[in-house]
Amino acid sequence: MSLKLKRTQSHDKVEQQMTPMIDVVFQLLAFFIMTFKIVSPEGDFGIRMPSAKPQESVADVPLPPVKIALKADAAGKLQSITINPGTADARNFGTDMRLLSNWVINYLGSDRGPNSLAKTVEAELACDYRLHYGHTMAAVAAVSGYLDPSTNTPISLFEKVKFSRPQKRPTP
């Protein structure tokens, strides 16, 4: 009663149907290619903001902050960058952020120790309400650090950057 197979039957190939699998695989491939996006890397700048409540630690700050006033025209374009406006040390850099960065580099010097100007003095940005945020961020970057041209590594400048109190919303 043993099952006898014919010689020809025992060598029959069991062919797998590849077409559905390839269909699904190509669908998956198409999906991932369509949804794939090259994303530009993003980074953060830390900002110290004065609290709405009166601060107790103001007396701990030994030196007054370096004020940087950014003025804008009605369209929000940068018109002028002024360091310490209204004082004898006031300096106007026009709209050149590199001049601002160079001034900060000279002001802070090379000392980055715990009691250095870079660690103890704050940079305070006073921006016009309408100023485009891109210019504000360029100023934040200019006072926060710069890229060393030879090594292309970031060198930090002011460690404490803050905004002054916001201006009132302009009437349209």
Partner 1 sequence: MGIQLRKGEMPSAEMDMTPMIDMVFQLIAFFMMLINFSQAETNKRIELPLSALAIPVEDTDDHNFITLHVDDKNETIVMAADDYSLTTLEGALAKRRSELEKDKLDTKKTRIVIRADRKAQTGLVQEVIGTCQKVGFENFKLRAEQDRKK
Q: Closer to partner 1 by CB, 90 or 137: give it.
A: 137
Give the binding site for partner 1 (CB under 8 A).
18, 21-22, 25-26, 28-29, 32-33, 35-37, 39-47, 49, 51-52, 70, 76, 127-138, 140-141, 144-147, 154, 163, 166-167, 169
Please state the closest distance from residue 10 (CB atom) to partner 1, in A. Answer: 20
- Residue in the block written with tokens 């400048």: 157
Of the two residues 111 and 133, which places its CB atom closer to partner 1 in the complex?
Answer: 133
Q: How far is the CB of 125 from partner 1 (least distance, A)?
A: 9
Nearest to 68 by CA among 44, 20, 100, 28: 100
In the complex, least distance from residue 155 CB atom to partner 1, rounded to whole angstroms: 10
